């Protein structure tokens, strides 16, 4: 039930960013609003990647309650969720600067607020929200796995 609660919790903050965009960005469009909704609220859809990895690696059956619990993160012993990365926030912000598009600043703000809310709610390591950090951890995990399995032969 925790995941469902967090999904609902992201919506008010995201809608606040939509409101700010419509008030302070004279050039806003429905694409900006869609981007804010996707990157501020619906970005949690990337949890499906981790859950599908868990299902395929453990040969378990699909379970909505298990997906919503988030326990598969601990069982996987790794976290992928590519949409939950500070690098993505920076890229969106830079695109706003490059293309002189104020709406992208609001999209990046919605994404950053989502990450902050997750950081606070999930009480994880700050660096855990950097995709490059997670990739480094995944690579070191697999390197240890390969070394251990090579020694067995």
What is the pLDDT, as a whole number, of residue 77?
Answer: 78
Q: What is the mean pLDDT of each run of 10 residues along the chain (153 residues)?
A: 69 97 96 98 92 91 87 84 95 98 98 94 85 80 47 39
What is the pLDDT, as a whole number, of residue 4?
Answer: 63
What is the pLDDT, as a whole number, of residue 42?
Answer: 94
Q: How many helices (H) and strands (E) does the chain have?
A: 8, 0
Measured CA to CA, the distance from residue 137 to residue 120 in angstroms comes to: 22
| DSSP at 84 | S
What is the pLDDT, as a whole number, of residue 1?
Answer: 54
Nearest to 12 by CA among 104, 113, 105, 86: 113
Q: What is the model's pTM?
A: 0.85
Measured CA to CA, the distance from residue 153 to residue 31 in angstroms comes to: 55
What is the pLDDT, as a whole number, of residue 74?
Answer: 84
Residues 6+ apart with CB under 8 A from 94: none
């Amino acid at each position: 039930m925790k995941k469902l609660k967090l999904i609902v919790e992201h919506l008010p903050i995201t809608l606040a960013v939509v409101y700010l965009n419509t008030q302070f960005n004279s050039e806003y469009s429905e694409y900006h609003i869609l981007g804010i909704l996707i990157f501020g609220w619906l970005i949690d859809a990337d949890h499906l990647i981790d859950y599908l990895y868990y299902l395929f690696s453990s040969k378990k059956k699909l379970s909505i309650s298990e997906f919503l619990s988030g326990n598969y993160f601990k069982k996987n012993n790794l976290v992928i969720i590519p949409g939950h990365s500070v690098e993505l926030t920076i890229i969106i912000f830079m695109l706003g600067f490059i293309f002189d598009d104020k709406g992208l600043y609001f999209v990046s703000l919605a994404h950053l607020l989502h990450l902050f809310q997750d950081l606070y709610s999930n009480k994880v390591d700050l660096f855990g929200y950097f995709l490059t950090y997670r990739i480094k951890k995944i690579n070191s995990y697999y390197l240890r796995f390969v070394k251990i399995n090579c020694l067995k032969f």
